[in-house]
Amino acid sequence: MSVLLAIFLQVGISPTPSPVSAVPDELYEQRQLTRQAKREAEKQTAIDNPLTDCITLAETDPEAARTMASQWLDTAELSRKSWAAQCLGMALVQQGRWDDAAAAFINGRDAAMPGAQLYRAQLGAMAGNAAMSAANASAALAALDIAQTDAGQAGNSVLAGEIMLDRARALVALDRLEDAATALALARQAQPDHAQTWLLSATLSRRMNLLETAQEQIERAAMLAPMDAKTGVEAGVIAILSGRPDA
């Protein structure tokens, strides 16, 4: 979820470019979060609702989905406004309207049914990702702080770990490196076998000139994802800065 952190952290030697996905990382992340949130919404009620159709439409005709979601927001009962806002946010993401998408996801979070902490956390994470894509790290951090609390109350350590990674992205963008390191430490506790968490931790430690720590973290990342090219590049950068060009 936190590919942008590596971009923010990268300094010094430029890595070899890796193949570029046809789907932007931010859009892929939003789709993943949207699908998770959709499943959670479907669990909240047995009453049929147009959320699935609206999200499917957003992926193929975002303008039509935006119109559908806006009309739905105007007429929906309070318990369904969060779903309409979620779909509106997804349509806006597809259109690259990141600030508006973040606002829609926050509106959806605030309209969620009482006790739906997991759904709130997912919508908050989506808002944070959209705000980061809009280069608004302060707004992203505000949304992600609330999302992390909601994920913790929902008892979902996996989502909490992902949100911690996103918080680290925002903190790095705000040049709060010590706070970012703390966020990554919490993410490692939540997801000790998550290779990207260790990779991003190593990258940040390297940037902070904590090369021994960076070496330990990149070794863990390599153990968890031995074929990952970005891990190999970071291991090489750390080795050169540590005076071990042969490694």
Are residues 91 and 62 in contact, defined by beta-carbon separation less than 8 angstroms? yes
Question: pLDDT tens, 55-101?
Answer: 888 889 999 989 988 988 888 887 788 999 999 999 999 999 999 99
Average pLDDT (161-187) is: 94
Are residues 6 and 218 in contact, defined by beta-carbon separation less than 8 angstroms? no
Give percent of the chain with pLDDT exceeding 70. 80
Q: How far is CA 226 from CA 8, 79, 97, 192, 230, in A?
A: 23, 46, 37, 16, 10
Q: How many angstroms separate the CA atoms of 188 and 196, rounded?
A: 10
pLDDT of 1: 46
* 26: number of Cβ within 10 Å: 19
pLDDT of 240: 93
Average pLDDT (185-211) is: 94
Q: Point out the least confidently predicted range of 39-43, 233-237, 243-247.
A: 39-43
More confident residue, 49 or 9: 49
- Class of residue 232 by CB neighbours under 10 A (exposed 0-12, middle 13-18, buried 19+): middle
pLDDT of 114: 84
Please name the residue that has the structure tokens 């936190």.
Answer: 2
Q: How many angstroms separate the CA atoms of 162 and 150, rounded?
A: 13
Average pLDDT, the chain: 83
| Nearest CA-CA partner of 11 in 207, 180, 202, 172 | 207
pLDDT of 32: 63
